[in-house]
Chains A and B, each alone.
Chain A
């Protein structure tokens, strides 16, 4: 995804707290707007290919097994509950796993990836 920015949706299509599936260069990307920020992550969970676009966004401990660790914003796979940090794509429930993340920004009312 080294191409120039690609418009993938209009801003009005993605209100606060919503998600949208887009395709970029043949890859499924989950666009997520949460707490005023935009995120773009690979849509498929590496466990059983659950669609992250249907996942819930949650504040969770960075180390889910340690509730006292500092919290981060993550999306939970709706099938078996794996957690992915939205800003980095790293999997919090299985550290060896991750999903790709993509730079995303708004330009003239358009959400662009690239």
Chain B
């Protein structure tokens, strides 16, 4: 896709997201926390974290005393999947915000996951399969190991290794990850696990040997793309997951040429079936705000994928320390 076209789409969709601020921002009232985390990720990738301190402090305020977050901001019970997403947004935003309250919140979040891990390395969440759930704290810890303080890194290393081992041990021979209860088809689970949990080891100083697992995972995802460019029968959510996963893995494995046709086709499909404002769950359906955040994230990661520096893709997942290109604007404004 032409990058100018992608940039225009990003601007118009981001304007839409800003216009519906009341529907996702904790500064405006109680919210669905998964949607909040999705929207904060967009702010981060738009280079707006540095000017959005109130959004991230509002996230800190909704954290429970055990260090987790609820599915809804008003829900008292913590849940692992969304808690990891919230922790991830805080640690990444704090690379530019450098806020003490956020750092304290991060420690509470780390403690929550250290407490919640099962003996075999997994984490549990009643709304998600164990593999998918486990991939989220592992992803959070990946980013702690990349961006956290030395003390934070020391605190999470053993737990992270155990969680990652649980995921690696559950990869199938064909390269996919399957959840017999929640995701027997394996599409979303494989896309989540390989990008959120496994691939980061290639960029971390003491990562596990994951290259073969990632190569098999990438092949599995490419082999499951439908002829029209989508995955899982025009499923927008799963297509976006697989597109992002393919971009990151192919970049870090230096398999761009092999993956390029699949990525370009998926991006064209994703743009073709967006609504006038936002993205639906399936073509023709009404706009879903969470999917709209995912759509923006896909286009922002596509921009990174098209850049010359392969590490720029890894930076969009927070797996590489240093000053990411996309944060430079935000840092300049602080």
Interface residues of A (CB under 8 A from B): 47-51, 54, 64-65, 67, 78-83, 93-94
Contact = CB atoms under 8 A, between A and B. Distances in A.
Given A47-B127, A51-B281, A51-B282, A81 B290 contact: no
A88 to B, nearest CB: 18
10 contacts: A50-B281, A51-B281, A51-B285, A54-B235, A54-B281, A64-B180, A65-B181, A78-B282, A79-B237, A80-B188
Interface string B259-282: 000000000000000000000011
B223 interface: no
Given A65-B181, A80-B182, A81-B184, 6 more contacts: A54-B235, A54-B281, A78-B233, A79-B281, A81-B182, A83-B181
Interface string B277-316: 0000110010010100000000000000000000000000
B237 A82 contact: no
B129 interface: yes
Nearest to B181: A64
B285 A80 contact: no
B232 interface: yes
Which 10 pairs of residues, A with B, have the shortest CB-CB distance? Answer: A81-B182, A64-B181, A81-B183, A79-B237, A54-B282, A78-B235, A94-B126, A47-B127, A93-B181, A65-B181
A94 B127 CA distance: 7
A80 B183 CA distance: 7
Contacts of A80: 127-128, 182-183, 188
Among B183, B188, B232, B281, which residue has the most Cβ atoms of chain A within 10 A? Answer: B281
**Main SS of the interface on chain B?**
loop
Contact of B288 (A47, A49, A54): A49
A85 to B, nearest CB: 14
Contacts of B282: 51, 54, 78
Contact of A81 (B34, B126, B129, B233): B129
A25 B237 CA distance: 29
A64 B180 CA distance: 8
A82 B182 contact: yes
B179 interface: yes
B30 to A, nearest CB: 17
Interface in B134-157: none
Contacts of B188: 80-81
Interface string B230-260: 0011010100000000000000000000000
Contacts of B281: 50-51, 54, 78-79
A81 B186 CA distance: 10
Interface in B178-198: 179-184, 188
B137 to A, nearest CB: 18
Among A50, A64, A67, A79, which residue has the most Cβ atoms of chain B within 10 A? Answer: A79
Contacts of A82: 182
Nearest to A79: B237
A65 to B, nearest CB: 6
A64 B285 CA distance: 30
Contact of A48 (B129, B182, B232, B290): B290
Interface string B211-228: 000000000000000000
Contacts of A51: 281-282, 285
Contacts of A93: 181-182
A76 to B, nearest CB: 8
Nearest to A51: B281
